């Protein structure tokens, strides 16, 4: 079974630029999560999708962050414009369903904002 | 508000030692307590998990001890090996708004020296 795929693995941008991250979850997994992991901290949930609908985006800075999951499979997370404090690893995870506890994480995208 | 408090933030043990990582939670609605292991450059991976109806769970060299009345749980790694060197995250999960929501601790960076 293929794991969660993410790209790119690394990205360096200037502040105020825009950036997008892509995630392909495990086949058949209905629930998809985007987390932000700042160095030295645990993952913080940004947004959770159930199929192609949003079930929780309470911690997503909506003035600059957006995410979509078209067709209930792949997902993209966008930051526009980026700030210095957005430097972090962005993790995508998936689980079979929203009632299923185990989450499978991708390798993450390390974003550096200069 | 930090709902899951984890300590210590870093830990160094010699090979064969038994590192212990502690976590405490506040929300009594949590009903699933996983531990994730994260190696550098990788996403977190589920290591072991426990539900509050049991006080201990063992899987190989890894043991979770759970104290429901104190709202605390801990991870013990028996006969630790250099390959166990990683960052360990405790987490707590519970139903919120009709779906499982996971909150992570800050993480403990473990180094096992030969």
pLDDT of residue A109: 97
Tell me the C-alpha to C-alpha distance, in Å, between residue A25 and each of A34, A43, B107.
11, 18, 24
Nearest CA in chain B to A49: B99
Q: Which of A98, A106, A107 sits opposite B99 (nearest CB)?
A: A98
| Cross-chain Cβ contact B43/A105 below 8 Å | yes
A108 interaction partners in chain B (CB closer than 8 Å)? 42-43
pLDDT of residue A102: 87
Confirm or reject contact between A101 and chain B (CB < 8 A): yes
Distance CA B42, CA A91 (A): 10
- pLDDT-derived band at B114 (thresholds 50, 70, 90) equals very high
Provide the 8-state DSSP code for A70. Answer: G
| Cross-chain Cβ contact A107/B43 below 8 Å | yes
Confirm or reject contact between A43 and chain B (CB < 8 A): yes
The pLDDT tens digits for B69-90 are 999 999 999 999 999 999 999 9
Which strands form A5-7's sheet, in the order they lie side by side? A5-7, A19-24, A75-79, A65-68
In chain A, which residues have pLDDT < 50?
A: none
Kindly state the average pLDDT of the residues B60-71: 96
Q: Which of B32, B98, B107 sits opposite A42 (nearest CB)?
A: B107
Distance from CA of B28 to the nearest CA of A (A): 17
């Amino acid at each position: 079974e293929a794991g969660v795929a993410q790209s790119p693995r690394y990205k360096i941008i200037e502040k105020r630029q825009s950036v997008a991250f892509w995630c392909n979850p495990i086949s058949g997994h209905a629930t998809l999560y985007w987390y932000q992991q700042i160095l030295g901290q645990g993952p913080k949930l940004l947004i959770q999708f159930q199929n192609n609908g949003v079930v929780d985006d309470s911690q997503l800075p909506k003035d600059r962050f957006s995410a979509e999951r078209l067709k209930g499979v792949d997902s993209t997370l966008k930051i526009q414009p980026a700030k210095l404090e957005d430097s972090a690893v962005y993790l995508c995870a998936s689980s079979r369903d929203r009632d299923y506890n185990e989450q499978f994480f991708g390798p993450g995208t390390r974003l550096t904002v200069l | 508000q930090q709902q899951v408090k984890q300590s210590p933030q870093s830990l160094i043990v010699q090979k064969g030692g038994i590192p212990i990582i502690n976590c405490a939670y506040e929300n009594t609605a949590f009903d699933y307590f996983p531990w994730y292991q994260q190696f550098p450059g990788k996403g977190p991976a589920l290591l072991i998990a426990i539900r509050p109806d049991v006080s201990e769970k063992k899987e190989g060299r890894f043991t979770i001890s759970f104290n429901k009345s104190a709202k605390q749980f801990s991870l013990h790694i028996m006969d630790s090996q250099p390959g166990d060197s990683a960052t360990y995250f405790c987490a707590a999960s519970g139903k919120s708004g009709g779906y499982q929501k996971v909150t992570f601790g800050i993480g403990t960076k473990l180094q096992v020296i030969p």
